[in-house]
A and B are shown apart, each in its own frame.
Chain A
Amino acid sequence: MIEAKGIGKVYSVKKKKSFFRSEKQIVRAVNGLNLTINEGEIVGLLGLNGAGKTTTIKMLSTLLNPSEGTITVDGLDAVQDAIQVKAMVNMIAGGERMLYWRLTGAENLRYFGKLYGLSGNALEKRIKYLLDIVGLTNASDTPVELYSKGMKQRLQIARGLINDPKYLFLDEPTLGLDAPVAKQLRGMVKTLAKSDRKGILLTSHYLEEVEELCDRVYIIEKGSLILHDTPENITASVVKDYHVTIETSVLSAPVQYRMKQGLIGCTLGFTENADSTVMQIKAPFDPTAQIIDLCVKESVSIQKLELKRPRLEDAILALAKEKSA
């Protein structure tokens, strides 16, 4: 298990005061964060830009030393035992950097494999296996500069798995990818956690992705933890509004009145069309069953029904609004 206890990171940043003069300013990127990642679990780390997500990932992956607090990886201290920890973790970032573009996919993996102490047949087998699982076998001897964005990202994943890490940090892994490739990568991440039992920390601005993949989510704001729970619980605790849009046959005023009376705790709005009525209902619970019962009771025929459940995205937006207020 990875366990971060009260970690913080303070940077000293030069701020220009004039052409010749600059002043040092202390910036606190992460503040007293507690976090755990278990094997076989996908944990999300969310926050707005500048919230401290990348700094946290870099501290967990030993690239940065925390200014305060401790990080242990299976009992090893990430600062004192950094070399042993490095063998157990890896990091994959979104974008097209972090690869040697003039080298082929296989050559990139061979180089990094050797840095992890792999060699000979074991390394070649690993390269073949990884290129296969990311679907780059046919492009293994093509220079990376000729790869598409999605291919580069898949190679990044293979590179991140070259040392068969127990824990993997994914920093915006689907950044800029089109929907089918992003979906394929999400499937890969799920398999890595659930079948290969890797502990994964994921940051992403695509909240549907986080909702789909993550078992637990940490939400940070200006370096501090503001919420930690499952995506469902976070959504339920922050956003209460269900939206139902229902199109029916034309409703008379008395029926509309009885509908209002029947749906206690809901806010209703009606829009009249030539041959239909559109009802918009907002409720702090899922009112679908009640609406259907009422429609049956009133002999109203339903032409279309659409339910919009609260999403993690709504929760994050609500939290951001709350914090900025």
Chain B
Amino acid sequence: MRILSILQAEVVKSHQHNFHNKLIYFSLLIWPALLFVTAYYSFKPFNLSSSSQLSKYMDVNQITMYLLTGYMCYIYFWSLVQSAWNMSYERQAGTLELIFLTPVPRLTVMFARAAGNMLEAVWLFTAFTLLVLLTTGHAGEIHWWNVPVAFILLSISAIVWGGFLNIVFLFSRDAGILFTIFEEPMQFFSGVRIPVLAFPLWGKIIAFFFPLTYVLEIFRDLVLNGKGLVELGEQSFILFCVLALLCTASVFLLKKAEIHAKETGNMVLF
């Protein structure tokens, strides 16, 4: 009950805070839609037949679906980078210190904040994705019975990722560099546009550092290739390990961050 109450509080706060004018719809829909359209038309001038290099790594006939799923999953993860970035606002406003003045379970707040922000940020683009599917005649390419599992997996992974990032931003007021790292590099190396297998070895190594890489692979196998979770056992296990690692790091870092703040008083520095 307490968790739900905190989650509700974070969703409402995030909504009231972010939806104060209509420009928000630009960043929620127009911007990701433009990203998708740009990527789609970037592929058009190239050879996308079965003889192309790309066809070695993916079904080139599914390029629309590949990009659409890629960008949708990316938006889930990217919205949480933005949400974590907003921690600096809380620090400046002094509200971060007030949150830590309350007896609320800190870990719950960090993950509820991620969940709240994710729900707020992705619904419009998710609806856009469904609309594209229905209007472009690609709906038949989707293995619909796997869709609920795929979305649960995507949401849980994104929340774990978001909670972890919130804690990292809590630790340092100069964590803005993560914003730069996670924008274009995450989009490129996680396989949003191009399959990770098509990268050279160094590119694959970078890809393994982004949790989105593992999520995207499973999501596409579930939704586009119709594989079951049993078939994806190995990939799911790897994702589970990555998420467990993020959760462990979150617990550890949160404890460290609060102790550090209590020693140095840095929660009010900005």
Contacts and interface: CB of A to CB of B under 8 A. Distances in A.
Interface string B1-43: 1100110110011001100100000000000000000000000
B12 A11 contact: no
A102 B20 contact: yes
A98 B102 CA distance: 13
Contacts of B261: 63
Interface string A127-166: 0000000000000000000000000000000010001000
Contacts of B97: 63, 98
A83 to B, nearest CB: 5
A112 B102 contact: yes
A64 B95 contact: no
A107 B95 contact: no
A115 B6 contact: yes
Contact of B101 (A63, A99, A100): A63
B263 interface: yes
B93 A99 contact: yes
Contact of B16 (A11, A102, A159): A102
A116 B262 contact: no
B265 A58 contact: yes
A111 interface: yes
Interface in A80-113: 83-84, 86-87, 90-91, 93, 97-104, 107, 110-112
Contact of B100 (A63, A87, A116): A63
A54 to B, nearest CB: 9
A12 B104 CA distance: 29
Nearest to B8: A114
A117 interface: yes
A68 to B, nearest CB: 13
Given A83-B103, A98-B94, A100-B95, A117 B2 contact: yes
Interface residues of A, number: 35
B103 A87 contact: yes
A111 B93 contact: no
Interface residues of B, number: 31
B102 A115 contact: yes
A166 to B, nearest CB: 14
Interface string B200-213: 00000000000000
B178 interface: no
B103 to A, nearest CB: 4
A65 interface: yes
B84 interface: no
Contacts of B264: 11-12
B134 interface: no
Interface in B104-147: 104, 109
A117 to B, nearest CB: 7
Interface in B248-270: 259, 261-265, 267
B12 A107 contact: yes
A119 interface: yes
Given A114-B6, A115-B9, A65 B263 contact: yes
A100 B89 CA distance: 10
A87 B105 CA distance: 12
B98 interface: yes
Contacts of A62: 101, 262
A111 B13 contact: yes
A55 interface: yes
B99 interface: yes
B96 to A, nearest CB: 10
B13 A64 contact: no
A142 to B, nearest CB: 13
A98 B13 contact: no
B17 A103 contact: yes
A12 B264 CA distance: 8
Interface of A: 11-12, 55, 58, 61-65, 83-84, 86-87, 90-91, 93, 97-104, 107, 110-112, 114-117, 119, 159, 163
Given A55-B265, A97-B94, A98-B97, 13 more contacts: A11-B265, A86-B103, A90-B101, A98-B94, A100-B13, A102-B16, A103-B13, A107-B13, A111-B13, A114-B9, A115-B9, A115-B104, A117-B2
Q: Which 4 A-B pairs have the closest CB atoms?
A: A97-B94, A114-B9, A98-B94, A86-B103
28 contacts: A58-B265, A63-B262, A63-B267, A64-B262, A64-B263, A65-B263, A86-B101, A90-B101, A93-B94, A97-B94, A98-B98, A99-B93, A100-B17, A103-B13, A107-B13, A107-B16, A110-B9, A110-B12, A112-B98, A114-B5, A114-B6, A114-B9, A115-B104, A116-B103, A117-B2, A117-B5, A119-B1, A163-B102
